Amino acid sequence: VPKAKSAAPALRRDRDAIDRGRGGFVGAGGGKQAMRERQTRMMEAQLEAATKRAREEEEEERVKVERESKSRKTEGEIMGAKERYLARKREAEEAKKREAEGK
């Protein structure tokens, strides 16, 4: 990814140099062509920004899902806790029965 960052400013510098090299001459259709090129570059920049934004949103979503899945208890852990609870409950009932029989 670092190469892409270094390549983008170089392209922009080249585009700016091309614009300056033309000067202010507006020939037959030359102004329209220059305007078309500027609009094309502007659209390319907007597309790059939208793509970057979408990529960042996807990354944020992936991180969020990953974090949620790590914190979520597994079904096995939940069943283990339920079994331990039921075992304690049975033991308490048996203790009550023994205590009642002992009196």
Question: Are 38 and 49 within one domain?
Answer: yes
User: 3-state secondary structure string, the chain?
Assistant: CHHHHHHHHHHHHHHHHHHHHHCCCCCCCHHHHHHHHHHHHHHHHHHHHHHHHHHHHHHHHHHHHHHHHHHCCCHHHHHHHHHHHHHHHHHHHHHHHHHHHHC
Res 88: pLDDT: 95
Same-domain pairing of 78 and 49: no
Average pLDDT score, the chain: 81
Same domain, 101 and 67: no
Residues 64 and 78 reside in one and the same domain: no
pTM: 0.41
pLDDT in tens, 33-50: 999 999 999 999 999 999
Would you state the pLDDT for residue 74?
A: 72
Residue 5 lies in a domain: no
With respect to residue 45, please indicate whether it lies within any of the assigned structural domains: yes
pLDDT in tens, 65-101: 888 877 677 777 778 888 999 999 999 999 999 988 8
Tell me how far apart the 2 most distant CA atoms of the chain are, in Å: 114
